[in-house]
Amino acid sequence: MIAAESASEKALSGIISTEMSVIKTKFKMAISGLVLTLGMSTLAPEYLAVTSAAHAAEWHEGGTLHQATALEWQQASHANKLATAADIITDASAKELLRPELQKTVTAGPDSYFPLAHGLVKGLDAAFFPDPDPAANRAMFVNQKVNETMAQLMEAMGWLK
């Protein structure tokens, strides 16, 4: 009886491992496709220099999703997503991880890097687009981290050195 249970547990473990591998592969493919779909592999300097008085003075402050999961991202406000993206971008800039032209954009001030933050939000919204089935959505996104996915997206878009 114990041997049969052990065999069942091994079979179940193998199925779960295979499912997780499929999910990870689909996620990586989605990120790659997302970059191409958004056309964000290279952003024109003119686009990066966009400024607008319409942006709130503090749009880039108060993000709380740095360690959040994709499930938390799905439920968060746009303002929180945008501020978190801004934090990730300024952190990458402080660590000098960004390509030189993007580094200059970030050091020019928040309105200069708003398009970058907005692009990351759009990218993560697409990458974390909720599955209509709550159980499938939870299974797919419970272990996906915002900061890790943002870093992958920034890398895929060619923003990092």
Identify which has the larger pLDDT, 10 or 39: 10
> Residue 15 has what pLDDT?
60
Q: Does residue 156 register a pLDDT over 50? A: yes
Identify which has the larger pLDDT, 21 or 85: 85
Q: Which three-class secondary structure state does DSSP give residue 160?
A: strand
> Over the stretch 92-128, which tens digit does the pLDDT of each residue have?
999 999 999 999 999 888 989 999 999 999 999 999 9
> Residue 150 has what pLDDT?
93
Q: Does residue 131 register a pLDDT over 80? A: yes
Question: 67 CB contacts (<8 Å, ≥6 apart)?
Answer: 145, 146, 147
CA-CA distance, 101 to 106, in Å (whole number)? 9
Q: Compute CA 28 distance to the chain's CA centroid, rounded to the nearest angstrom.
A: 12
CA distances from 19 to 15, 139, 141 (A): 6, 10, 13
Identify which has the larger pLDDT, 146 or 13: 146
Q: Record the pTM.
A: 0.67
Torsion of CA 21, 67, 127, 134, to 10 degrees: 80
> Residue 52 has what pLDDT?
40
> Over the stretch 11-24, which tens digit does the pLDDT of each residue have?
555 565 555 555 55
For range 8-12, the mean pLDDT: 58
CA distances from 84 to 1, 52, 91, 144 (A): 52, 20, 10, 16
> Residue 109 has what pLDDT?
87
> Over the stretch 13-69, which tens digit does the pLDDT of each residue have?
556 555 555 555 555 555 555 554 444 444 433 333 333 434 444 889 989 999 999
